[in-house]
């Protein structure tokens, strides 16, 4: 029944004992999944899958299992699907952005998301995934991604006490139709992690839009067992400027950023860590033909022990060819 390329579970990776743990596999006798995030083909025969709205182009995984050590409760409606445990909540929703545009859609979607988190008692937003079509359409401040950032800031106008949630914003290679949001929230806050090699996104200068992007570079769940780092969508940006012009150079820069975030989170926990077997990556490429060289580079560098999937999506800056997000488990 596996919907992914089989990967052996390392013996030293414990089963989920606490709030949540992310893997690319699921033991056959374990149905305690807060969320199952799968590509369209990977969703077949899965229970309660949340389908990623992008085409799968390659990699060693088609599915992410967000497992929990506690009982899972669910509430599904046409507008929003929610699943929660004693500690964490996962949700998925979508809003139509055709009549109102990206700004209004973001405002409505984020209002619905934060209202649901508050209503169910999970006030701390940890991670958000944003998907919408035609992300680079429009010139200057009318670009849809910039308009999306304005709408998001109308709901979350300044950094929360414990920092912005980690986030990804990826364009669906299609016309504007809907904004889809996936999100993770908790009763306890995480620890926002920033990268000294990059300007914090929410401090970007005016040249990138009327409202700076409201997200942290990563969010550390230091109270989880084992601790978990949720890495935002990360690209080849040094300081606040895009760097490099070919996909492999951009990928190497991006992986260096992710290693820095894992290292800094490890310093907070008092452990040494780096990208590898205890990590999991989602890779987004703008051009489908880049998937093969990206996959080959990842396999050459990390081997088959690092689960990753490559998806076809547009990046928030037109000159960027690749974006990578990840999860790292500190064991």
Strand order in the sheet with 166-172: 73-76, 80-84, 88-96, 178-186, 124-133, 166-172
CA distance 183 to 7: 26
Find, among 226, 213, 227, the residue nearest to 323 by Cα. 213
Q: Which of 64, 143, 194, 323 is catalytic?
A: 323
Copy the structure tokens of residue 239.
Answer: 């300081």
| Gyration radius of the chain's alpha carbons | 18
Q: Are 159 and 202 in contact (CB under 8 A)?
A: yes
Order of strands, sheet of 228-234, starting from the edge strand that comes earlier in the sequence = 55-59, 308-312, 279-285, 322-329, 228-234, 218-221, 191-193
Which among 298, 257, 253 is positioned nearest to 280, based on CA atoms? 298
Could you confirm whether 325 is annotated as catalytic? Answer: no
Distance CA 226, CA 281 (A): 18
Whole-angstrom distance, CA of residue 165 vs CA of residue 125: 6
What b/e sequence results for 45-75 when a residue is b if at least 16 CB atoms lie within 10 Å of its CB, and e otherwise?
ebeebbbbbbbbbbbbbbbbbbbbbbebeee
Report the DSSP beta bridge partners of residue 8: none
Residues involved in catalysis: 323
């Amino acid at each position: 029944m596996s919907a992914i390329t089989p990967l052996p579970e390392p013996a030293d990776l414990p089963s989920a004992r606490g709030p949540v743990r992310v893997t690319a596999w699921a033991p056959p006798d374990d149905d305690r999944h807060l969320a199952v995030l799968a590509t369209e083909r990977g969703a077949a025969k899965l229970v309660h899958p949340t389908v990623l709205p992008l085409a799968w182009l390659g990699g060693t995984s088609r599915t992410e299992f967000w497992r929990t050590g506690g009982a899972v409760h669910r509430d599904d409606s046409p507008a929003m699907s929610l699943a929660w445990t004693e500690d964490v909540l996962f949700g998925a929703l979508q809003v139509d952005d055709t009549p109102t545009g990206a700004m209004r859609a973001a405002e409505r979607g984020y209002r619905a998301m934060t209202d649901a988190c508050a209503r169910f008692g999970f006030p701390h937003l940890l991670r958000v995934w944003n998907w919408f079509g035609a992300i680079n359409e429009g010139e200057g401040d009318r670009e849809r991604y910039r308009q999306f950032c304005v709408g998001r800031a109308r709901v979350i106008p300044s950094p929360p006490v414990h920092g912005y949630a980690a986030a990804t914003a990826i364009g669906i290679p299609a016309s504007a139709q809907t904004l889809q949001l996936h999100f993770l929230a908790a009763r306890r806050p995480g620890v926002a992690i920033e990268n000294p090699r990059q300007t914090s996104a929410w401090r970007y200068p005016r040249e990138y839009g009327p409202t700076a992007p409201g997200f942290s570079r990563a969010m550390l769940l230091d109270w989880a067992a084992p601790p978990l780092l949720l890495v935002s969508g990360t690209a080849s940006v040094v300081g606040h400027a895009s760097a490099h012009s070919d996909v492999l150079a951009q990928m190497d820069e991006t992986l260096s950023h992710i290693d820095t975030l894992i290292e800094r989170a490890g310093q907070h926990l008092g452990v040494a860590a780096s990208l590898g077997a205890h990590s999991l990556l989602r890779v987004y490429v703008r051009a489908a033909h880049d998937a093969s060289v990206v996959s080959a580079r990842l396999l050459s560098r990390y081997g088959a022990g690092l689960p990753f999937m490559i998806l076809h999506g547009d990046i928030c800056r037109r000159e960027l060819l690749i974006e990578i997000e990840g999860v790292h488990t500190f064991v």
